[in-house]
Amino acid sequence: MITGASAGIGAELARQLADRGHDVVLVARREQRLRELAEQLRLRHGIHADVEVCDLGDADARRALVERLLAERTVAGVCNNAGMGTVGTLLEAGVEREQQVVRLNVDAVHHLTGAFLPAMVERGAGAILNVASIAAFQPLPGFATYAASKAFVQSFSEAVHAELAGTGVSVTSLCPGFTHTEFGVNAGAGKEEQALPELLFQDPPAVARSGVEAMIAGRRTAIPGLHNRASMLGGRLAPRSLLLPVVRRVTAARR
């Protein structure tokens, strides 16, 4: 099962898993895009590709999805890729919009991870890939809720990975940096992304490949790109008294 499969990294995860011969369940809100992708995967790879239209930020819709899949299928792997972000301070964005970020980036990932793990552990095989972000490794004024939500995904995934040692099941956290997807435009940061150097960006196929390989290998974390690994180290090691004022000035200047 791949969430957020209608575009970007999610669609590439589906393509690469299908290329390895895996049947897929594509989950997102945009039905037409999902159906087009499913047809492409069926024709190109000869696999089964099913479509589930679901707003994963809606807890009732999410529960219904889980119940259907557990009743009808053996889910060997879950890619929790669906996510959203906002640009601006908490005051500017408004609490309701920021709560939507938490419901999708945190609640949905927590729910779907926990819902499918028991059956995987019972079978002694399975893997979950949770898409975090390089933003997970430091607080980011101007992106406070988004960065915090991805910090949850990263910390949660690493901890559950350790809990599952010896079960045959793994949880992997994928932490991409800037990627050529629709994320920036949807977050209201299209202009800010355009102003960044191209060398900072990766393409979805490369990011998805890193995630799929790490997921299949049962690794704890995947950080694609040397510059992103350097950013991770900087975010972890830089004193907050120095980091936070700098990030605040940079993000304020871009808005």
Q: Which amino acid is at 123?
A: R
- The count of C-alpha atoms lying within 13 angstroms of the C-alpha of 219, restricted to the half-sphere facing its C-beta, is 14
108 is catalytic: no
Q: What's the CA gap between 134 and 227, in Å, rounded?
A: 10
Among 173, 212, 211, residue whose Cα is nearest residue 17? 212
Residue with tokens 């926990």: 114
Which of the residues 137, 146, 178, 183 is marked catalytic? Answer: 146
Q: What is the DSSP string of 6-33?
A: TSHHHHHHHHHHHHTT--EEEEES-HHH
Q: What's the CA gap between 179 and 116, in Å, rounded?
A: 28
Residues with catalytic annotation?
A: 146
